Structure 1
Amino acid sequence: MNLRNVSRKFGMSLAAGAVVLTATPAASAATAPTPVPAVSRFKTLADYAKQRDAAREAARASGSTLRPSCAEGIMRSKGNDLMVSAELAYQEPTLGMLRARSSTDGPWERFRICYDGTSDTIYSVGAQRYVSAEVATPGEKNGMLRAHATLINAWERFRLQCGSVYCSIRSLANDRLVSAELQYTGADYGMLRARSTTTGDWELFW
């Protein structure tokens, strides 16, 4: 059993359209029903965060159970002002790599982000897969974000923290901020990786 499979035995499961967080290692494998449908659109990530936080506050004020809050839109890197794409024409092991490289909006650039009360998940509309932080991949691709998971586990959980315009994306798998690797070249240019401990333009998205 490789590290990837071992890691996926611990963490989260998705059942009947609702994300369930477990505090101890999961006793059984996660299931993968259809993702929660998007209930709104967002123009920017900060818009999504406002919707998410409003839903959380409304549930808290009313004493009701928070339902998953989802919205769909595009993500853009502050570092190069390009949209994030899921590279669905790539082959394994980089199929679905997220890169900040597109100036046009298509299915590969559309993402559905959901909040379940504990974390945010990112779902690629084009790939029909959840985005993972590949924290077991070595070298310059360590922490690479890829749209390839059918389950929500630890590697698929993030936390978006937003100001009025820009947001950072933190992987809960390794507690690192997602960076757009603008120093990379060729097919890796703009690769998104969960690898930074500080926030700069490469770690900000909108």
Structure 2
Amino acid sequence: MRRKGALILTLSGLLTVSALGATTASADDSPAPAEVAPEGWQVVDDALMNELLVRAGEARLSAEADEPEELPWGIQSVTNDLFVASEQSFREPNTGLLRARSEGINGSWELYDLYWNENETLSIRSTANEKFVAAELNRTGSEKGVLRARSEGVNGGWEQFILLYHEVTGRYAFQSVANGLVVSTEKNFTGNLQNALRARSDWINGSWEEFYLI
């Protein structure tokens, strides 16, 4: 597979980003996503991503809620160079937990379908169990906000993310609509939660919050 982030990097100077005008309707009264992404980060919407991919000769993301894009994606953590897997063998309540722990894309556990919602937020569905990734805000302590492929559909802000892109590095970040926090790879966690993905950072502070889309 080719790194789509690198392809987008070569085209970033040709396009400008449209502001994210719509806010999210969510049962948990979640905060509205940020309309301005400072420090070189841009908010990616359906139109921008599609134009970038078309110009680069890659697959087009689907704007239809019931139709996935043509090719599933791998998500690679910048901080440890490992791919994000959906842990299907973990027992509840961790079944489907997202962890950056695989050396490569070995199968459906490391692949995800990406969907654009009508409000220009992004939803992620694991190809392993065909469930949408949610930020688990009901958990407490260090597990609050962990990402898990466990939802049958997009029910609100828990399953919605703002996709951010850095035009210089070609890296991506995911901001949870549910709590307004950015997804981080938790390298300091131990055991089954080591390198778990969690919506917990106030902003993109370094490689822990940065990813490639492959």
Give, in angstroms, the shift of residue 151 of structure 1: 1.8
For residues 53 and 94 of structure 1, do their structure 2 counterparts lie closer, same or farther at Cα, with a shift above 3 Å needed?
Answer: same
Preserved CA contact (<8 Å) 2:45 2:163: no
For residues 24 and 54 of structure 1, do their structure 2 counterparts lie closer, same or farther at Cα, with a shift above 3 Å needed?
Answer: closer
Match of 1:104 in 2: 104
Give, in angstroms, the shift of residue 95 of structure 1: 0.6
- Take 1:116 and 1:150, find their aligned partners in 2: how far apart are those partners? 15
Preserved CA contact (<8 Å) 1:86 1:126: yes
Aligned counterparts, 1:1-206, within 5 A = 23=25, 52-55=47-50, 67-68=63-64, 70=69, 72-105=72-105, 106-118=107-119, 119-154=121-156, 155-164=158-167, 165-199=170-204, 200-206=206-212
- Take 1:78 and 1:117, find their aligned partners in 2: how far apart are those partners? 29
Amino acid at match of 1:159: I
- Take 2:150 and 2:49, find their aligned partners in 1: how far apart are those partners? 30
TM-score by length of 2: 0.66
TM-score by length of 1: 0.69
- Take 1:83 and 1:125, find their aligned partners in 2: how far apart are those partners? 14
Show structure 1 runs of 4+ deviating over 6 A.
none
* Higher relative contact order structure (alpha carbons within 8 Å, sequence separation ≥ 6): 2
Q: How many residues are matched?
A: 156
Match of 1:9 in 2: none
For residues 202 and 23 of structure 1, do their structure 2 counterparts lie closer, same or farther at Cα, with a shift above 3 Å needed?
Answer: closer
For residues 116 and 55 of structure 1, do their structure 2 counterparts lie closer, same or farther at Cα, with a shift above 3 Å needed?
Answer: farther
Two-structure CA RMSD over aligned residues (Å):
2.6
Preserved CA contact (<8 Å) 1:56 1:117: no
- Take 2:155 and 2:210, find their aligned partners in 1: how far apart are those partners? 24
For residues 52 and 74 of structure 1, do their structure 2 counterparts lie closer, same or farther at Cα, with a shift above 3 Å needed?
Answer: farther
- Take 1:134 and 1:24, find their aligned partners in 2: how far apart are those partners? 15
Between the aligned residues of both structures, percent identity stands at: 33
For residues 81 and 185 of structure 1, do their structure 2 counterparts lie closer, same or farther at Cα, with a shift above 3 Å needed?
Answer: same
For residues 79 and 24 of structure 1, do their structure 2 counterparts lie closer, same or farther at Cα, with a shift above 3 Å needed?
Answer: closer
- Take 2:24 and 2:162, find their aligned partners in 1: how far apart are those partners? 17
